[in-house]
Amino acid sequence: MSVLDLHIHTTISGDSLITPEVLFREAKKAGLDGVCITEHGFEKSRIAADLSREYGFPFFAGMEASTELGDILVFGIDSYPRTISRARELKEFVEKGGGVLVAAHPFRSNFNRSSSTPAASDIALNHKYQLLRLVDAMEVINGWSSEAEVVHCQKVSEELSLNGTGGSDAHIPVQVGCCVTIFENVIRSEEDLVAELKRGRFRAEDRRLPEQKGSLNWFCQA
């Protein structure tokens, strides 16, 4: 078994306060078996492999890609062309490279902090479902999500038979490991990670306290 935080940003992203050294410290404190650095952009983290060697701890690399249908976590490829901005094009490129796609916080824009139901037009919701039909899994638990958003994501995950992951989307140290993905098998490499994500042998777990769920008093705005 491996417990991983699949969605973390470091200072390289430009909007995070987490240095690599702090990430290692917080990951160990949270009892994680590994972390995934998923910076915004077109290529995976260049420092993950070096950090793994330096700390003797699994640092995996992915990226958070932006598309017209929403953000997507990408694992298993080094980079993708900057000319790609559409989700279907990204899917085709990643599939050819043997990678895997995970929809990141797919319903974030449909929920506000006080709402228990999606607040979006039919067109916006349709875009979300278009995205979910293209990916291998969806992030059902995100460190910024309200309880209502998590419940909705889990419901959609079941309806679509789409496996759900968990990730903190950490931008500040205390968030690391607050939401995780628990894999049935041990993840020793990025190849293992991609293979297990494709096989669906994992589950998401929310480790936040009730007052931390979607609370701006606890999390700074990303």
- Distance (Å, whole) CA 24 – CA 22: 5
Instruction: Return the pLDDT at 222.
Output: 42
Instruction: For residue 126, give the 3-state DSSP assignment.
Output: helix
Instruction: Return the pLDDT at 110.
Output: 67
Instruction: Return the pLDDT at 6.
Output: 98
Q: Is the per-residue pLDDT at 138 higher than 90? A: yes
> How, if at all, do strands 179-183 and 202-206 pair?
antiparallel
Give the end-to-end CA distance of the chain in Å, rounded to a whole number. 31
- Distance (Å, whole) CA 87 – CA 92: 9
**pLDDT single digits (tens) 3-58:** 999 999 998 877 889 999 999 999 999 999 999 999 999 999 889 999 999 999 99
Q: Which domains does the chain have, with CATH numbers?
A: 2-212 (3.20.20.140)
Instruction: Return the pLDDT at 210.
Output: 84
- Distance (Å, whole) CA 63 – CA 73: 6
* Amino acid making up residue 191: E
Q: Is the per-residue pLDDT at 59 higher than 70? A: yes
Q: Is the per-residue pLDDT at 121 higher than 60? A: no
Instruction: Return the pLDDT at 57.
Output: 96
Q: Is the per-residue pLDDT at 115 higher than 70? A: no
**Residue labelled with tokens 């690399």:** 61
Q: Which DSSP symbol is given to 170?
A: B
